[in-house]
Amino acid sequence: MDVNWGEVAEWVGVAVFALTGALVAARKGMDPFGFALLATVTGIGGGSMRDVLLGQPVFWIADPTDLVICAAVGIFTYVAGTRVVGLMAAVRPRQLLLWADALGLGIFAVTGAQKAFWFGAHPITAVVLGTLTASFGGIIRDILAGEVPLVLRKEIYVTAAFLGSATFSVCVVMGLPYSVAGPAGFVAGFGLRALAILRDWSLPPFTARTG
């Protein structure tokens, strides 16, 4: 039986991003519906925007598998977080959120650009759509939770998504197979985001010069 690894990667990315939404819901003390909602909009938000811009049917309309994954992750996190004493404190939810988000970013930066290529997008457009796919779900999550989105903080976030998408796209343009371009893009995007988390890297902010 052949395995569609691209589809598997998409499901993993959706589940991981859904987990970040559920973790934010836990931090905000939401009810089960809030968990499921934040998990879902985070998991499918970026891919939905990508498909709309590509002029293609949104991926979860015909096949609701991704919706089910998101809702299941949200409810599971709610049940685990409320039934297991001290669970959320033990795993340090803030750090878990950052690392889960970094993993999802690395996956979606590649799968977003890959789908753009499938539908004939220009390589530069593929990079933009990959970056958007990797970041838009997190933006929706943070806005709904009443927080400043990660992309607007002093974080190397969009830069990492851009690097992952760009690396994948350059590999494709060079004629490398997806089996090589995909891992290369993931390592580039996730690697930069991981280093930023570990070493507290950030790009220099704008400062107005006077005089």
Q: What is the average per-residue pLDDT within 101-114?
A: 95
Whether 206 is in a domain gets the answer: no
Q: Give the pLDDT score at 54.
A: 95
Rounded Cα distance, 103 and 32, in Å: 24
pLDDT of residue 84: 47
**87 pLDDT higher than 70:** no
pLDDT recorded at residue 95: 79
CA distance 198 to 211: 37
- Per-residue model confidence (pLDDT) at position 10: 85
Residue 190 lies in a domain: yes
State pLDDT tens for residues 164-183. 999 999 999 999 999 999 99
Mean pLDDT of 2-22: 82
% of the chain surpassing 70 pLDDT: 89
Domain that holds residue 38: 5-199
Per-residue model confidence (pLDDT) at position 81: 73
The CA distance from 89 to 168, in Å, is 37
Report the SS3 class of residue 191: helix
> Does 32 reside within a domain?
yes
Residue 189 falls inside a structural domain: yes
CA-CA-CA-CA dihedral for 49, 130, 91, 71, to nearest 10: 30
Average pLDDT over the chain, rounded to whole?
88
Report helix angle 178-199 to 158-173, nearest 10: 160
Quote the pLDDT of residue 210: 60
Q: Is the residue at 145 inside a domain?
A: yes
pLDDT at 46: 95
Report if residue 207 sits inside a domain: no
pLDDT of res. 5: 63
pLDDT digits (tens, 9 = 90+) for 118-171: 999 999 999 999 999 999 999 999 999 998 887 777 778 999 999 999 999 999
Would you say residue 177 lies in a domain? yes
The domain total for the chain is 1
Whether 204 maps to a domain, the answer reads no
The H-assigned helical ranges of the chain are: 5-28, 32-54, 59-62, 65-83, 87-90, 93-118, 123-144, 158-173, 178-199
Place of tokens 């530069």: 124
